[in-house]
Amino acid sequence: MADGKAPSSEKAASPAGGNYPPGTPKEAAQRRLLAALRAADIVNGRLNKIMSSAAGQERVFAFVQYSSHALHHILASAPWIALQTRLGLLARLRANTTKSTTTQSPPQTSPLLALSSLMSEARYMLRLLGLFPLLAWGADTLKSPPSDHILHALTLLQVISNILYQALENVELLSRKGVVSKRFVDRWGGGGKWSLWSTRAWFGHIFLQYIVLWRARELRKKAEAEGVSKEKRESLRAEFRAWKKSLVNNAFWTPLCLHWSVENGIGFPGQLVGFVSFLASAWGFYDIWASTA
């Protein structure tokens, strides 16, 4: 032990204990495994932070719903199927096989669409409690109204529009689940009509949001023209980013909501619904994900 060398028995026991010599393949695999576990722990921690609130849970469910819907239609698209067929033929040619190239029919039920439907149902359930924050939004607007009278009026109209949207959706869902009398809903047009008018109320919010964005832009330009301090300039820059995000979100939701607000739709392709919905919510999900870093 005086010369610093370990006994031969310790050397023999090292591999069994998992302490491999530096640079060996097993040690490299060990490092990769530990790095993967640390990365998984970080991702799980960030998701846990996001899903600690109902709003965060809704964002995650929406992300999974829209991405799985879009992915299903991408995988079922003609270009993707053609690419798969060509790759399959190329693999067979390289293997020098004589197997026939039969096209497999897609499964009757898609797991991705089933996942998308499940996430949609989960979001419906979460929104059953959505009236409470909307009522709180209305109360806060009445107690502390915006200084601009136009924005004040527009905000109140949006509160009313959103409350109608959420109330109609809740009644339709509860009647579908047998909680509210279906006879009552049928007397007033049936579940389809309630869903239609719920979406129209939501479209009212989207339409009003364009006017809100226009008014906010005018007020920001006016403030910039009057000259502002450095701190106020930073605040205006943050407001402009939020303004752009709201505009992008609104622009993507507009054709979808208009399509759902018309009884027979406006001809919006069903396979693009998930993709466009994903684009509408992507910026918001990115921001909430970045906030957990």
Whether residue 121 is predicted with pLDDT greater than 90 in this model: the reply is yes
- Cα separation, 43 vs 67, whole angstroms: 18
pLDDT for 260: 95
pTM metric for this prediction: 0.78
Taking the CB of residue 44, how many other CB atoms lie within 10 A of it? 10
The two three-digit tokens of residue 115, written as one number = 């996942």
Q: Which two tokens stand for residue 78?
A: 């003609």
For residue 272, give Cα distances in angstroms to 81, 100, 206.
Answer: 17, 34, 20
Do 65 and 123 touch, CB atoms closer than 8 A?
yes
Rounded to 10°, the helix 273-290/230-261 angle is 150
Outline where DSSP puts E strands in 156-267: none
CA distance 59 to 284: 8
Q: How many residues are present in the chain?
A: 293
Most confident of 104-108, 246-250, 263-267: 246-250
Report helix, strand or coil for 145.
Answer: coil
How far out from the chain centre does Cα 64 lie? 6
| Cα dist from 60 to 9, 13, 76, 130, 263, whole Å | 54, 48, 24, 16, 30
- The answer on pLDDT for 20 being more than 60 is no
Lowest model confidence (mean pLDDT) among 71-80, 241-250, 254-263: 71-80
Q: Where along the chain do its domains lie?
A: 130-290
Higher pLDDT, 90 or 190: 190
108 versus 51: the higher-pLDDT residue is 51
More confident residue, 288 or 231: 288
Q: Provide the pLDDT for residue 234.
A: 82
135 pLDDT higher than 60: yes
- The burial of 72, by beta-carbon neighbours within 10 Å (0-12 exposed, 13-18 middle, 19 or more buried), is given as buried
